[in-house]
Each structure stands twice: as C-alpha cells, then as structure tokens.
Structure 1
Amino acid sequence: MLLIPTVTPIPRVTDASGIVRVSKTRITIDTVITAFLEGATAEEIGEQYPSLHLCDIYFVIGYYLEHQAEVDAYLRERQRLATEVQQEAEKRFNPIGLRDRLLARRNPQG
C-alpha cells in the first residue's frame, strides 16, 4: 500500500463575530488551545468535550504549534474583548454586594 500525502484543511470556521470555532461544533479554538496550554492532552480535551473528534483536536493543536504568533495574537485580542465586556457589565451592574442584595430579595425582613 502506497501512502499518498494529502492536504487536509484545518477544521475551523469563523463566525460573523470573528470567533473561530472547531468545525461543526460550538467549541472555540480558544477552548482547545487553552486546555492544551494548561497541560491537557488531546485525549483529555476530547473527554471533556465529546462533540470534538480527536483528529480535529490534533489538527487544532498542530495549527497552533505552526502558527503560534498569529494564534497568540488572536487569543490576546479575544481576551481584551472579554475584559472590555466584563468591565462594561460591571459598570452597568455593580457586582459589589450582589450576593447580599440577592439574599435580601430572597428573605425579605418583616
């Protein structure tokens, strides 16, 4: 049997918001790469996210390793946007004392 090299596209889809997901799933590449950088193996990532195919996880990790600078820039931008959204939400809905306010609603005095 002769092995013929083929080119397989990276299983990724960019949605209208610019978020890159692993094809045919709702899982972002951020999730896969973050888990990998935290020490998870492809198999462990697959166990945690059963909608992912093991080969797709390996493709995403391989893509990251070959394009680390670009992917890291993408991840930094995603983190910056997440921080912006969190700060805006905290301005609108002050989290300080939130637990006490919720408990007060649950157990009204009197």
Structure 2
Amino acid sequence: MTLRIVAESAPLNTNEDGAILVGNTRVTLDTLVAVFKQGTTAEEIVYRYPSLNLADVYATIAFYLKHQLEVEDYLQQRRQLSQEVRAMNQTRFDPQGLRDRLLARKTQQEAC
C-alpha cells in the first residue's frame, strides 16, 4: 500500500460581502487569525468555535503562516472598511442623546 499525497487548498471561502470564511462555517478568517495571534492553540479555537473542525483550523493557520503579508493586507482592508461603515452609521444615526430619546419615548408610551 502506498500513501497518496494530494495537495489540498486552504478551506477558505469568500461570502457575498467579501469576508473570508473558514470551512463551511460563518467564522471569519479575521476571527481565527486574531485568536491565533493571541496565542490560542488550534484545539482551543475549535473549543471556542465548535462549528470549525480541527483540520480546517490547522490548514487555515498554515495558510496564514505561508501568506502572512497577503493576509495582513486583507485584514487591514477589513479594518479600514469597518471604520468607514462605523463612521457612516454614526453620521446617519447620531448616538448622542439616544438613551434620553429612548427613555422619553418609553415614558410617552407608558402615559398613553
């Protein structure tokens, strides 16, 4: 019996929003890399995110380590996009006084 060695691609998929997901889950590459960089082991990552399987986590970590510059560029673009969306939402939905407006609305509804 001979062992057949087959190269497999990283278990990464891009969703309709452009986020890269690990395996057939909703766990993002961003999340996995962040916890890995905090020193979390592959086994601990699977424990935290049970929808992941261990082989996919190891394959994703290997992909990250082999393509660190490209992945870091992608992560930086994601952070930039997140900041832009946050700024846009804060402009559209002013958080100042939100609590007061909600309490006033609640008081008004209770009075009716």
Q: Kindly tell me: are residues 34 and 3 of structure 1, through their superposed partners in 2, closer, same or farther at Cα, counting changes over 3 Å?
A: same
In structure 1, how many angstroms separate the alpha carbons of the residues matched to 2:66 and 2:98? 44
Gaps of 5+ in 1: none
Identity of aligned residues (%): 45
In structure 2, how many angstroms separate the alpha carbons of the residues matched to 1:102 and 1:45? 39
1:98 and 2:102 aligned: no
- SS of the equivalent of 1:90 reads helix
Post-superposition CA distance 1:26-72 (Å, at most 9, x none):
11111111111122211121111110001111111111111000000
Gaps of 5+ in 2: none
**Structure-2-length-normalised TM-score:** 0.86
Post-superposition CA distance 1:81-101 (Å, at most 9, x none):
011000000000011222222
**Structure-1-length-normalised TM-score:** 0.88
Q: Compute the RMSD of aligned alpha carbons.
A: 1.8
Match of 2:88 in 1: 88
- SS of the equivalent of 2:18 reads coil
